[in-house]
């Protein structure tokens, strides 16, 4: 990926809302980064996870290969796997929270925030993502006499006024 493509990706994150430096700051705050990255930088990981997700089949190997192409350092799929932990989830949640808050503030949530009528506003969502059938043993979906599907369900509850996730699974 060229530097122009990388710049395009960060511009898509909403005009200076989440620059590479702001993403690194979020990574430090969430514990995802403890020191300056040598091989796997938080903004790069976020970008490559997003780009690989668009393909529909995300794997540690694909993410590592994408990072290898853009950086001069070799990154293994085991290294990506090791970094995929609770602090990584917290980092991704913090990024998503920033994006949601910016979208709400740009659409007039100041009226909601200034009102004393609401102490909490909860947004709940649940979505199902189809997975390859080879993962059926781990993520069993629906099976009947005629068909088998493999699904994963993502559920979350977001508190709008505080801008944080109450539940994410």
Verify that 102 and 145 share a domain, yes or no: no
Last residue of a domain, one of 64, 88, 107: 107
Q: How many domains does the chain have?
A: 2
**pLDDT band at residue 52, thresholds of 50, 70 and 90?**
confident
Point out which residues pair with 150 in neighbouring strands.
Answer: 131, 140
CB 93 within 8 A of CB 61: no
- Count of CB atoms situated within 10 Å of the CB of 59: 13
Q: What is the largest CA-CA distance in the chain?
A: 55
Verify that 53 and 7 share a domain, yes or no: yes
pLDDT of residue 29: 92
CB 131 within 8 A of CB 151: yes
Verify that 19 and 100 share a domain, yes or no: yes
Verify that 127 and 159 share a domain, yes or no: yes
CB 93 within 8 A of CB 168: yes
3-class secondary structure, 120: coil
C-alpha 66 chain-centroid distance: 17
pLDDT of residue 54: 75
Residues 114-167: pLDDT tens digits? 556 778 888 888 888 777 777 777 777 677 777 778 888 888 898 887 778 888
C-alpha 90 chain-centroid distance: 9
Residues 24-47: pLDDT tens digits? 899 999 998 888 777 788 888 888
Verify that 99 and 114 share a domain, yes or no: no
Domain region containing 65: 1-107
Measured CA to CA, the distance from residue 16 to residue 98 in angstroms comes to 12
Measured CA to CA, the distance from residue 167 to residue 169 in angstroms comes to 7
Measured CA to CA, the distance from residue 111 to residue 121 in angstroms comes to 13
Verify that 146 and 83 share a domain, yes or no: no
Verify that 52 and 89 share a domain, yes or no: yes
Angle at 158 between CA 83 and CA 114, to 5 degrees: 130
Last residue of a domain, one of 107, 136, 159: 107
Last residue of a domain, one of 60, 89, 107: 107
pTM, entire model? 0.73
Verify that 59 and 98 share a domain, yes or no: yes
Verify that 27 and 70 share a domain, yes or no: yes
Verify that 11 and 26 share a domain, yes or no: yes
CB 152 within 8 A of CB 128: yes
Verify that 21 and 2 share a domain, yes or no: yes
Verify that 6 and 23 share a domain, yes or no: yes
């Amino acid at each position: 990926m060229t530097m122009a493509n990388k710049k395009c990706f960060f511009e898509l994150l909403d005009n200076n809302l989440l620059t590479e430096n702001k993403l690194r700051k979020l990574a430090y705050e969430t514990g995802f980064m403890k020191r300056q990255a040598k091989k796997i930088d938080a903004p790069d990981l976020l970008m490559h996870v997003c780009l690989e997700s668009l393909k529909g089949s995300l794997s540690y190997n694909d993410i590592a290969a994408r990072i290898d192409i853009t950086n001069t350092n070799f990154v293994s799929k085991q290294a990506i796997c090791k970094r995929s932990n609770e602090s990584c989830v917290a980092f991704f949640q913090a990024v998503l929270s920033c994006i949601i808050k910016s979208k709400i503030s740009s659409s007039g949530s100041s009226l909601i925030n200034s009102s004393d009528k609401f102490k909490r506003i909860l947004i709940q969502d649940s979505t199902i993502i189809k997975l390859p059938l080879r993962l059926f043993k781990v993520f069993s979906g629906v099976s009947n006499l005629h068909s088998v599907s493999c699904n994963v369900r993502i559920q979350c509850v977001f508190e709008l006024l505080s801008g944080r996730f109450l539940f994410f699974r």
